[in-house]
Amino acid sequence: MTTVLVADDQPTVRRAFTAVLSAAPDLTVVGAAADGLEAVRLARQHVPDVALMDIRMPELNGIEAVRRIAGAGLPTRAIMITTFDLDDYVYDALAAGASGFLLKDVTAAELTAAVRVVAKGDALLAPRITRRLIAEFARRRPAPPPADLTPREAQVLRLVARGLSNAEIAAELVVTEHTVKTHVARMLTKLGLRDRAQAIVYAYETGLVLRNRSGSR
């Protein structure tokens, strides 16, 4: 059973998301918050697997709430809820520890599928969100130095940054999915990252993805 926290300052949205998630046999809502401070409190109390977090909330915005939850060492993975797909805070939310994004007009099937994907440790980034991340990278802070990854680990990182799942990476590299999982785990450990979403941020920050696109390896 995957536990979920819903945080949104709009009562209708909270109720709708709670109803949809509660109807799924493998999901259960353990709390509903109206602002960021309440979301952090409920996350500490219930330690949910996934938190659906609105970005714009009173008292404390969703990005800072995610940052505090991650800073507290909680294993909760966050999905940011946005009104527009080109939200100004995409990069900041991922850097704070968010694992993905959804639009508020998401369908019931998309919502439940997204929670399951993120609960498994995968990132939830649509191509348009990835493009936004590239644009943000171009004007952001200086890149951190590349980690000491093996050529295969760097290749896996590039594929992760493109949004590919473990199964898709395995097909691309003609290896088993178990082998891909091993490479991903080692890559995350070397980089000191929590999950695939943070690995995507790192790939863009270091220019690894951009270099790959220009033909360099």
Domain ranges within the chain, ordered by starting residue: 2-136, 141-213
**Is residue 140 within 8 Å of 205, Cβ to Cβ?**
yes
The fold of the 2-136 domain, in CATH, is Rossmann fold (3.40.50)
Q: How far apart are CA 150 and CA 129, in angstroms?
A: 28
Res 105: pLDDT: 82
Q: Where is 5: in which H helix or E strand?
A: strand 2-7
DSSP class of 55: S
Q: How far apart are CA 7 and CA 89, in angstroms?
A: 17
Q: From its phi and psi, is residue 144 left (phi > 0), alpha (psi between -120 and 50) or beta?
A: beta
What do you get for the CA distance between the two ends of the chain, in Å? 42
Res 94: pLDDT: 79
Indicate the CATH number of 141-213 among 1.10.540.10, 1.10.10.10, 3.40.50.1100, 3.20.20.10. 1.10.10.10
**Is residue 102 within 8 Å of 82, Cβ to Cβ?**
yes
Report residue 54: phi and psi, to 5°: -65, 140
pLDDT in tens, the chain (217 residues): 999 999 999 999 999 999 999 999 999 999 999 999 999 999 999 999 999 999 889 889 999 999 999 889 899 999 998 776 555 677 778 778 888 888 888 889 989 998 998 888 777 766 556 556 655 655 555 555 556 888 899 899 988 887 788 888 999 999 999 999 999 999 999 888 878 878 887 887 777 765 444 333 3
Q: How far apart are CA 144 and CA 92, in angstroms?
A: 16
Res 98: pLDDT: 86
Res 214: pLDDT: 39
Res 82: pLDDT: 79
Res 217: pLDDT: 34
